[in-house]
């Protein structure tokens, strides 16, 4: 039997044993990753209820207590501003704005000076 054939046969016999070799990494189970999620709005809806626009929002993530603010717009025209104090026990807010006429409404939500979300309700073309 030629030498190359013997080496091939030996490699075929050793292949199952060599495939079981694994590197061992320590620690086998890594420590849990510490993740701090930023403050974010997870649920926000803007809908009409008669002559009133109703915005419901919920803030999640780790945050220090502060004011969730909203700026109301009809197209490029600002209609008003409002805010609600939130803390970890009270994470949801409901805002209302009198708007008897249809429009292209936007509500921009801010928390701690950062814009978190914009919600839109287009009843007419902007």
pLDDT at 10: 66
Q: Tell me the per-residue pLDDT of 57-68, one tens digit each, with 9 for 90 and over.
A: 999 888 889 999
Residue 85: band (very low, low, confident or very high) from pLDDT cuts 50, 70, 90 = very high
Q: Give the pLDDT band of residue 11 (cuts 50, 70, 90).
A: low
Q: What angle do CA 39, 115, 118 make, to 5 degrees?
A: 105
Q: What is the DSSP string of the chain?
A: --HHHHHHHHHHHHHHHHHT-----SSSSPPPP---PPPEEEEEEEEEETTEEEEEEEEESS--SEEEEEEEEETTEEEEEEEEEEBTTB-EEEEEEE--S--EEEEEEEETTEEEEEEEEESS--
């Amino acid at each position: 039997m030629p030498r190359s054939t013997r080496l091939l046969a030996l490699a075929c016999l050793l292949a199952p044993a060599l495939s079981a070799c694994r590197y061992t990494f320590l620690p086998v189970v890594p420590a849990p990753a510490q993740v701090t999620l930023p403050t974010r709005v997870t649920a926000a809806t803007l809908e009409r209820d008669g002559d009133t626009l109703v915005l419901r929002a919920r803030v999640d993530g780790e945050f220090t207590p502060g004011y969730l603010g909203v700026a109301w717009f009809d197209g490029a025209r600002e209609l008003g501003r409002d805010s609600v104090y939130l803390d970890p026990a009270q994470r949801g807010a409901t805002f209302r704005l009198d708007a008897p006429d249809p429009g292209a409404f936007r509500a921009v939500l801010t928390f701690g000076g950062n814009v978190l979300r914009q919600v839109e309700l287009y009843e007419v073309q902007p």
